[in-house]
Structure 1
């Protein structure tokens, strides 16, 4: 399942799938601020891409929640993994932390020459944030990034499972309808 939209001239795709299989310049990891990669999206990235991704990320941390770092992507199809720290050791997050982490990930992407990027539902797994809040805050970050001169060709929101996909697509449609 997949739906395509446009936000400020950027192709925005919401799809159900496995983010580790995406063929984009970079995928975003929903990370803790120490960049340990245990469960959820982080665990899947480590299993498929290799432990060297975690080793490189950990060597760049810890960072304040809301920051992001870039590493190689190991065996993944993407060139980079951008680790967005949406939570600290307390594993708690909120919309503001997601927005800051997504914006940091986009800035790191720009510095790395990324034109196509895939995001998971930041803060929704371990962090327990509702999909609608996560998606709204990621879209706010994308608009802020574009307003500051950031350029991207494509942003994918890759949701794991049908429920996540449906809720994310609905959140995008509500967000875009409120802009009109």
Structure 2
């Protein structure tokens, strides 16, 4: 019997959970990242099998949980070769044939199945669902919970069983800065705001090794995203599995005990505390995603084009042509005020005249 599942697939009360994977040993996003966090030993086994060339399209990789409660098996279903690639219907079809074999061979009576190859894989659920339904008609006695692509579960519902990562200078600075900002803003911190806050902290002199580049929402560092992924569920909550679009993402909250751990680390780094205070002072009055994107975008232009640091007309022009979105969103008045704020607080200096 096939029923529609809802909520978080990893919390389904079934014999087996199906996880969608690639063949190269990476579980970096989406439901695969959720499985990696919930079953770290499974991930190590999968990673090793991938290195040995044992993870192949059309072939299931089964891992026994050996738990007294919960699912007995995790079935890794390869939906694409490389994590950057798109899924193909032919690989879903061949994989379903082997999935049915595994379910029958292992005596599985109930199973939870995600939308195979949809989401990051790019396939259409209207094409995939009939294939899954048709495949399980061969074993109608099995109870199937089929999860459509209805959105990412809440970050709080995603189990984390990985060991807590050690505190580092960069993680401590992130936690302390986000906590200070959320207190100042009287609201949780969005992903956009976290990117801009850490951008300014690095500009202030904190050695973070964040690789910022010019992006859609202003300066963006992809390796900060990797930091958020590591600390999720341990020090911060809200990043989830990283699959949600930035404008739809949950805000980031500092978890209980995280600030104490960060402050204990930072007690020996007084310069970091001073830099955090300087960033928070700059952000005063700009505590929204709009405000921080505006400040960071104006600063980026002034930094990248020394002429613009002393020419407000040129700076306005460059900010507004960054993207059509910025051109519509950021008014000349707001850009000029942000520029004046940055200059007045010593974040932007005029070029020397010869």
Normalized per residue, the structure richer in strand is 1
Match of residue 42, structure 2, among 31, 53, 76: 53
1:121 aligns with 2:115: yes
Distance 1:35 1:102 in 2: 20
Larger Rg: 2
1:70 lines up with 2:62 in the alignment:
yes
Q: Which has the higher contact order (CA 8 A, sep 6+)?
A: 1
Matches within 5 A, 1:7-156: 11-47=1-37, 49-61=38-50, 62=53, 63-73=55-65, 77-89=70-82, 90-143=84-137, 146=138, 150=139, 152-156=141-145
Shift of 1:53: 1.1
Question: Structure 2: which 5+ runs fail to align?
Answer: 153-354
Is the contact made by 1:119 and 1:155 (CA closer than 8 Å) also made in structure 2? yes
Q: Distance in 2 between matches of 1:134 and 1:17?
A: 20
The alpha-carbon deviation at position 12 of structure 1 amounts to 0.6
Residues 96-115 of structure 1: CA deviation (Å, up to 9, x unaligned): 21121122122122222211
Work out the number of aligned pairs and report it: 147
Aligned Cα RMSD in Å? 2.3
- 1:173 is matched with none
Does the 8 Å contact 2:2/2:133 carry over to 1?
Answer: no
Shift of 1:151: 6.1
Return the alpha-carbon distance in structure 1 between the equivalents of residues 66 and 32 of structure 2. 13
Higher helix share: 2
TM-score, scaled to structure 2: 0.38
Distance in 1 between residues matched to 2:102 and 2:58, nearest whole Å: 12
Structure 2 distance, partners of 1:39, 1:78, is: 22
State the partner residue of 1:157: 146
Q: Offset of 1:134 from its aligned partner?
A: 1.4
SS at match of 1:83: strand
SS in 2 for 1:126: helix
CA distance in 1, matches of 2:149, 2:70: 18
SS at match of 1:78: coil
Within 2, Cα distance between the matches of 1:91 and 1:73?
29
Change (3 A) 1:53 1:152: farther
1:154 Cα deviation from its structure 2 partner: 0.5
| Mean Cα deviation higher: 11-20 or 67-76 | 67-76
With over 3 angstroms needed to count, the CA separation of the structure-2 counterparts of 1:94 and 1:37, relative to structure 1, is same
Aligned equivalents of 1:60, 1:67: Cα separation in 2: 12
CA shift, 1:153, in A, is 2.4
Please give the TM-score of this superposition, normalised by the length of structure 1: 0.72
